[in-house]
Every structure is written in structure tokens, then in C-alpha cells.
Amino acid sequence: MPDKKPHLEVHNLSKSFRINHQIGGYLSLRDQISGLFVKGKMQSEEFYALKDIGFEVSEGDSLGIIGRNGAGKSTLLKILSRITPPTKGRIIVRGRIASLLEVGTGFHQELTGRENIFFNGSLLGMKRKEVQSKFDAIVDFSGTERFLDTPLKHYSSGMQLRLAFSVAAFLEPEIMIIDEVLAVGDAEFQRKCMGKMQDVSQSGRTILFVSHDLDAVERLCRKAILLQQGSIASQGMAGEVIQKYLASGGSVPPGSWPLAGGMLLKALSFADNSILSGDVLPFEIELHNTNDEKPDLTDLCLLFYNYKKQRVAIYDLRNFFGNFQWTGNRISYRGVIQRFNLVEGEYQVGLFYGIDGKHGDLYEVVKLQVKRRPDQFKVNPYDLQYRGFVDLM
């Protein structure tokens, strides 16, 4: 038998953007026209989101793509999904390809569950007959049969998510591209999804999976590539690549972190970056608004990640009324977490934000070292690996 050709080949793939420093948001014709006359005023800079990427995925293999925010993971997925074209390079695809960059793409609040299943399924590349034949299974998997003919706007967000994932779960392309869609939903449903994805990868289909959840990558993918600033920093068996990624971590960019809507995170700090498990944890956070108008800040939470980059805790910073205290153009917040009950270890603290309807995560803003309490009266404490994340004391 001749060598089987891989399902997916990527050769010398690059994507560059031109950044004009003076233009924000979308272009307006005036900017373009005035740009014709006022030369040299606009600083334009070429930015490579991806540089010379090359890899292959053979049939039935699963490839995890890991890396920090801004390393180019999403751009790579978008190119492979044909949503945006590469600047250079070549991609060879053998088989049907379907991508899940989001669950519930095209879901419409006014349409019923049934209607949304058909529209979404069709968008993802299913034929109408295919949706029809899988319809019962999809509904069954989502557990929303009672609401099938209710408009989606009356669904809870959890139900919408379940419905969305269920449609996606019954896609049967040869190659499937998945972007972190598992990061949402309740634990029970996440487990169900992981199970489904494992079935999919074992059924001979090819999976590309991007996630910050290294645990999920390790479980689901045989191989992995690590992206760093648009290039492949490491490529090989998933376990080894994850090790390299963990070893390279730790450095944090100085200055401020851009959020959405012109907001910057200026500071996030703790009174002490090394505390004892169960201690009080005073913290300070400062946000600046750089736009003329105040953006609508709806969500702000501290996120705590363990050494495996799994999220282990969240701390909501919204006040009782769900809004934030502005002082001029700043939000400055001092708070205290009364008992920081996570077990000892090294944690990364990030931020979840919702600004003007856009939500996003910062993953690694500060490091927090948690040590075991010396005065614990338990005579012989168990090893860390048996104790989970939270010390209930």
C-alpha cells in the first residue's frame, strides 16, 4: 500500500497585517482619501501574526495548538477555516473540513430551537437531510426537547450553549477545527463534550484543537505545536510540548494591558505576592479609560489559574448593583479576599472583563505564590496531589 497522504498539510504559512497607527477601528473613506495627500503622517508597520508555519496532520490524528494570547493561535485557525486568507504559503486539505470557532454561530434569538438547529447545522456544513436524520440525536444530546418550539431568547444561557454544542457534536467532517469551545458550560456538560470529542478523534477523524486548558489538550491530542510570536517554537508529542510551554512561562510584559473599548489595565497587585493558604489576600486593581467616552464596563473578575493553566477560582469584582465606581477616567479598586483557600502552589492571576458587550480574558497578569500553613493542626497532612485545589480546612 502506498503512503497515505496526510489529511492536512500546511507549508510556509505566513500572515501579516499592516497596522496604521492613526487609524482606529474600521476605515472610513475620508481617512483613505486624506491619506492620499498627507503622506508620511500615517505610520504604517507590518506585523506578522504568523511566520513561516509548517506542519502536517495525518488521518485520525489530533493536534493541539497551544501558546500564549497573541501567539497566533486564533489567526492560524481562521486561516485554516478559510475565514481569512494567508499572506503567503499553501494549504492542502484532503477531505471535508469543518470548523468550530464558536458554538452557536448564527443562532438567532427570535428563532425557535428547532429552527436554530437547522440554520446552524447548515452553516456548519451539514446538508438538510443530514440534519433531519440526526435531529433526534441532537435534541437528545442537548436535553432541550421540551423547548424545541420556543424562541431561543427564552432559553437560559446554559441551555443555548448545550443546544449549540449538540449541533456541532454531530458534524461528521474528516477534519475538524475546534477553538476553545469547551471553556464554557457546566462541569457535567463539559464532561459530556469531552467524551464526545474523544469519540470523534477515535473514529478516525482528524482534529485540530486550540485551548488554554492544557489538561484538555493533553487528554485529547496525541501531538501538539507550541506557537510563540507567530512561529512554531516546539512541535511533537503533546506531553513534551506542554512541558516545554510550562517551562517557558513566567515572563510578564511590563506596563499596561489593553482590554476592550479603550480601557487599559494599569495595575493588578497584591499586598504580598507570597501568602499562606487560607490567609487574607488584599489586592488592588486600577483601570484607565483612554477614550473620550466612558465605556460600559459590565464585568470584571479576577481569575486564578493553577500551574497547569486550569482555572481554579474566580472572584467577582462587581458591586451589589453590578456597576463600578469611576473616579474621573479611572477605576481604582481595593479589595480583600477574606480567606484565600487554595492549596499551596504557584498561581497565575488573570482578569475577565466585559466592556461594551465584548468579553475577554487576560491570562497571566501576576503570579501568586501560596505556601502551606505551618500551624496546621492536622498531624500528618496528605500530599498535595491528593488534596485538589481548595483547602476546606
The binding site for other proteins (CB under 8 A) comprises: 4-5, 7, 13, 17, 26-30, 32, 59, 78, 81-96, 99, 101-102, 105-106, 108, 110-111, 115, 118-119, 122-125, 127-128, 151, 174
User: What is the chain's Cα-based Rg?
Assistant: 23
At 200 the three-state DSSP class reads helix
Of 94 and 222, the one with the shorter C-beta distance to other proteins is 94
Order across the sheet with 297-305: list the strands: 274-276, 358-371, 345-355, 297-305, 311-316
Reported as half-sphere exposure (CB side, CA atoms, 13 A), residue 24 has a value of 5
- DSSP 8-state secondary structure symbol assigned to residue 143: T
Q: Which of 186, 355, 346, 337 is nearest to 273 (CA)?
A: 346
Task: Count Cβ neighbours within 10 Å for each residue of 194-212 and write b for 16 or more, e otherwise.
Answer: eebbeebbeeebbbbbbbb
Q: Tell me how far, at minimum, the Cβ of 27 lies from other proteins, in Å.
A: 6
Q: Tell me how far, at minimum, the Cβ of 392 lies from other proteins, in Å.
A: 41
Q: Tell me how far, at minimum, the Cβ of 10 lies from other proteins, in Å.
A: 10
Cell triple for residue 267?
Answer: 495595575
Of 16 and 332, the one with the shorter C-beta distance to other proteins is 16
370 contacts: CB under 8 Å, gap ≥ 6: 274, 275, 276, 277, 340, 342, 343, 344, 345, 346, 347
Of 29 and 379, the one with the shorter C-beta distance to other proteins is 29
Q: Tell me how far, at minimum, the Cβ of 135 lies from other proteins, in Å.
A: 15
First-to-last CA distance in the chain? 62
Grid-cell match 489559574, residue found: 305
Of 128 and 191, the one with the shorter C-beta distance to other proteins is 128
Q: Tell me how far, at minimum, the Cβ of 42 lies from other proteins, in Å.
A: 16
Tally the residues of the chain. Answer: 393
Q: Tell me how far, at minimum, the Cβ of 159 lies from other proteins, in Å.
A: 19
Q: Tell me how far, at minimum, the Cβ of 320 lies from other proteins, in Å.
A: 33
**Alpha-carbon dihedral 160, 163, 168, 170, rounded to 10 degrees:** 180
Of 104 and 350, the one with the shorter C-beta distance to other proteins is 104
Q: What angle do CA 192, 193, 199 make, to 5 degrees?
A: 95
Of 178 and 351, the one with the shorter C-beta distance to other proteins is 178
Q: Tell me how far, at minimum, the Cβ of 86 lies from other proteins, in Å.
A: 5
Of 5 and 41, the one with the shorter C-beta distance to other proteins is 5
**Alpha-carbon dihedral 35, 40, 43, 45, rounded to 10 degrees:** 100
Of 21 and 88, the one with the shorter C-beta distance to other proteins is 88
Q: Tell me how far, at minimum, the Cβ of 32 lies from other proteins, in Å.
A: 7
Q: Tell me how far, at minimum, the Cβ of 22 lies from other proteins, in Å.
A: 16
Amino acid sitting at position 155? Y
Reported as half-sphere exposure (CB side, CA atoms, 13 A), residue 307 has a value of 13
Of 111 and 246, the one with the shorter C-beta distance to other proteins is 111
Of 103 and 193, the one with the shorter C-beta distance to other proteins is 103
112-121 CB contacts, 8 Å cutoff, 24+ apart: 112/148, 112/149, 112/150, 112/151, 112/152, 113/139, 113/144, 113/147, 113/148, 113/149, 113/150, 113/152, 113/155, 113/163, 114/148, 114/149, 116/152, 116/163, 117/163, 117/167, 120/164, 120/167, 121/167, 121/170
